[in-house]
Structure 1
Amino acid sequence: MPQMAPISWLTLFILFSMILLIFNFMNYFIYLPSAPKSSHSQISSTTMTWKW
């Protein structure tokens, strides 16, 4: 069985690296996080006065 030439390994490495990069870029840029729904009710914060 003949061995693969080094240039073939290089082209395969470049091909799979480019596929991996394109796949990661697509996954990163296609994801749209849902915007937080702004409700008009504000969070009530109670102030505590410490009496030592």
Structure 2
Amino acid sequence: MAPLNWLILFIYFLMMFLMILIIIYFTYMKFIKFKSNKTYKMKNYNKFI
């Protein structure tokens, strides 16, 4: 029974790690989108000039 418990713990920690990674990834992507939107507006401004 002990190996099964270790396996369950390992899977649990792996899932937690993946969830944290996904949350960090999405917040990072949101920050990049904000930056890219600003640069995109600047590019449009340069085109009009």
Settle same-fold status: TM greater than 0.5: yes
Unaligned runs of 5+ in 1: 43-52
Identity %: 38
Whether 1:24 aligns to 2:17 is: no
Larger radius of gyration: 1
Q: RMSD of aligned C-alpha atoms? A: 2.0
Consecutive unaligned residues of structure 2, counting only runs of 5 or more, are: none
1:38 aligns with 2:42: yes
TM-score by length of 1: 0.59
Q: Give the 4+ runs in structure 1 shifted more than 2 A.
A: 39-42
- In 2: Cα distance, 1:25 partner to 1:13 partner: 18
Please state which structure has a larger fraction of its residues in helix: 2
Q: 1:28 & 1:20 partners in 2: Cα distance?
A: 12
| TM-score, length-scaled by structure 2 | 0.61
